[in-house]
Structure 1
Amino acid sequence: MSRNMKRQRPKFLGWGCCLALVAGICQGGGAAAASGRWSVLDSPALSSSPAARPFLLSGARAGNRLVVAGERGILFLSDDNGQTWRQAAVPVGVSITAVRFATPRRGWAVGHFGVVLQTEDGGETWRKQLDGVAAARLLLEDALRRTGSDRSDDAVRWAERMVKDGPDKPFLDLLILGERSALVVGSYGLAFRTDDAGARWEPSVAAIADNRHLHLNAVSTMQGNGTVFVVGEQGTVLRSGDAGASFETLNSPYEGSFFSVLATSPKDVLIFGLRGNAFQSSDGGVTWAPLDLKSGATLTSAIALRDGGVLVADQGGQLFRREAGSSRFAPVESPVRLPLAGLVEAANGTVLGVGPAGVLPVYSPLSR
């Protein structure tokens, strides 16, 4: 067994548990995990409402519709820029860590226990395409095929351990590569890809050079040129120049974990991590320069705004904005100051934040 497979999962208290959810360390559905039955994979999402303030982890746009998701499979939809919400039908009760849309109707969501969900109706209903049981089996089949069924190979032994462990490894982020293509990444270096709208998911673990099975927390792409960036724990920064077919490990400017990456152009890549550590590259990740956001808190989410600016949130709910054409971030006022796990911009320009307090508007361009 490799050293990384033996390492202990960190323990977190208070707001640290939010980071654990974002990073996929804490596993949802503890009762199911303890019993070994994984019942949350076959149980529908918990019934809830925004008024109950469930812990939400991700948000996205599906055309003009807002979609936010989080603990126990809860997923809400809004067609009026977040004024009112309704709950979508989700077939699993696991925490959803990321949701993204390829078109106003087709989207994917990923979460704990290796779950991948897909919608073809703008998020109204979802179906499970993959879970940790099937993912581990696919990993083993792929490793055996690549090694000629050599059971002594490290890749095969690792995949066999994944099968034995059961579906306890979460996916943490996903990237839309096209209307029918997506890449998902997660804990212990997990990576899967589809190019047929999810009819088949294939492991991409072997595409990552020097895979030490570190957690992969976030993924982003430079639109139009096929360059993909992935960041994760222990300063992991990966780059693919062929839309995720293969990855190289880049020199990292920081040894701590990164939780967000934003590639806004071929000359602009931003990465954000623990203790306010943030860096910018103007040469596709070859070199990095530190960004001073005046925050000592962990940076949890970053989005590119419709007006060309960039908005970043830290774990305490402080927001930082970079104007279009600028390289400097400045703090901005927000109507609320609550811990944030993710950001999403509504069609009217209002930015909503998701986190342990549910979903709330946190920034409006009209208030600047």
Structure 2
Amino acid sequence: MRILLPTFAILALAALSFSIRASVDAKDERNVVVSHATPHDRLFSVIFDADKGVAVGEAGLIMGTTDAGKSWTRERAPTDLAMIDVASNGTRRIAVGQMGLILVDDGSGTWKKVDSGTDRRLLQVDLNKNGLAFIVGAFGTLLKSKDGGETWESVAPNWATLYDSGEGDTAVLRDEPTNYLVDVQEDGSVLIGGEYGQIMRSPDGGICWDIVYRHPSDSGESAPTFFALSIRDDGAGYAVGQSGLVARTADHGRTWGYVKTPVDGNL
């Protein structure tokens, strides 16, 4: 189970303590106000595998639990950059974040940096039991690992071709798309998605891509962006995003349908 909080709408996980002390010097009629804020680290993503869980956040913050979240301890991280997402296959753990940051724990409990080959922001990571892993990020970043995150290669496709609807509107792709969703399934198929309301599926580990959902846009405006995705073991799942956008699948992401919602806020 993963909880991912987009950077534009961070949920505070602890209350902010703020106190103000004021004193008045009657003799010179000056007010002196001294304020003290207690900052709290923010966590952006958490994932569980049975009773073991890990949460990552800003400034190199990694918290781990082995008792289903009853207690947490801070884990040593070889970075002070923010980590935006974390994934686990039950043995290996991978965290990603700012400036192309990738951290890997091979099961020893020690995190290490590995080379990503990019300095772009990495937004979500997933891997399966066989060690196949994918990362999506800013401006078309798409990375693949076949060894549980030890080494990575860029496998970004021709985005312009994938975003061409066949109706002459390729101009909608003003920049390489930023993707926020990635799901690596046990059979080696992969789902990615994000900007322009599009979800793509690869049946062969990122070699070929098919468009499995494209949300319609109104009056030439870009379709809303997808931000989060979750699919159960039985194949049922949802993808959610801007303007109340919800899409549902019942077959592990091979096909999707739009779900009308009574809200227009970001999900």
TM-score range, shorter chain: 0.7 to 0.9
Rounded to whole Å, the distance in 1 between the matches of 2:240 and 2:135 is: 19
Larger Rg: 2
Distance apart, 1:267 and its partner CA: 4.6
Matches of 1:242 and 1:116, distance apart in 2: 23
Is the Cα–Cα contact under 8 Å of residues 84 and 122 in structure 2 kept in the other structure? yes
RMSD: 2.5
Quickly say closer, same or farther: Cα 1:267–1:118, change in 2 above 3 A. Answer: closer
Q: Indicate conservation of the 8 Å contact 2:137/2:180, yes or no.
A: yes
Tell whether the 8 Å contact from 1:305 to 1:311 is kept in structure 2 after alignment: no
Match of 2:157 in 1: 252
Provide the residue aligned with 2:169 in structure 1: none
Give the whole-Å Cα distance in 2 for the aligned partners of 1:73 and 1:216: 25
Label 1:220 to 1:335 Cα distance change in 2 as closer, same or farther (>3 A): same
Correspondences of 1:149-298 after superposition (within 5 Å):
167=80, 169-179=81-91, 181-196=92-107, 198=109, 200-204=110-114, 206=115, 208=116, 211-221=117-127, 223-254=128-159, 255-295=176-216, 296-298=223-225
Report the residue type matching 2:74 in the other structure. Answer: K
Distance of aligned partners of 1:292 and 1:326 in 2 relative to their CA distance in 1, 3 Å threshold: closer
CA shift in 2, pair 1:252/1:114, >3 Å: farther
TM-score between the two structures when normalised by the length of structure 1: 0.54
> 1:71 aligned to 2:12?
yes
3-state SS in 2 of match to 1:101:
strand
Distance 1:253 1:111, change over 3 A: farther
What letter corresponds to residue 224 of structure 1 in structure 2? K
Cα distance in 2 for partners of 1:305, 1:285 equals 21
The residue number in structure 1 matching 2:165 is: none
Report the CA distance between 1:336 and its aligned residue. 5.3
Q: Which moved more, 1:240-249 or 1:261-270?
A: 261-270
Question: Whole-Å Cα distance in 2 between the matches of residues 232 and 196 of structure 1?
Answer: 25
- List runs of 5+ in structure 2 lacking aligned partners: 16-38, 160-175, 217-222
How far, CA to CA, are the matches of 1:301 and 1:98 in structure 2? Answer: 12
Which segments of structure 1 move beyond 6 Å, counting only runs of 4 or more? none
- Cα displacement (A) at 1:202: 1.0
CA contact (8 A) 1:101 1:108 kept: yes
- What is the percentage of aligned positions where both structures have the same residue? 26
Correspondence for 2:219: none
Q: Which has the higher strand share?
A: 2
* Pairwise CA distance, 1:276: 1.3
Shift of 1:335: 6.3
Closer, same or farther in 2 for the Cα pair 1:260/1:99, shift >3 Å? same
The aligned length equals 219
Tell me which of the two structures has the higher relative contact order, counting C-alpha pairs closer than 8 angstroms and 6 or more residues apart.
1
Matched, 1:96 2:96: no
Distance in 1 between residues matched to 2:232 and 2:265, nearest whole Å: 21
**8 Å Cα contact 1:264-1:304 kept in structure 2:** no
Match of 1:114 among 45, 60, 70: 60
Aligned residue number for residue 89 of structure 1: none
Residue matched to 2:220 = none
Give the equivalent residue in structure 1 for 2:230: 303
Encode CA deviations 1:30-52: one digit per residue, 9 max, x unaligned: xxxxxxxxxxxxxxxxxxxxxxx
Within 2, Cα distance between the matches of 1:176 and 1:292? 27
Counterparts of 1:121 and 1:231, CA distance in 2: 30
Contact 1:227 1:242 in 2 (8 A): yes
- Taking structure 2 as the reference length, the TM-score comes to 0.73
Matched AA of 1:324: D
Which has more helix, going by share of residues?
1
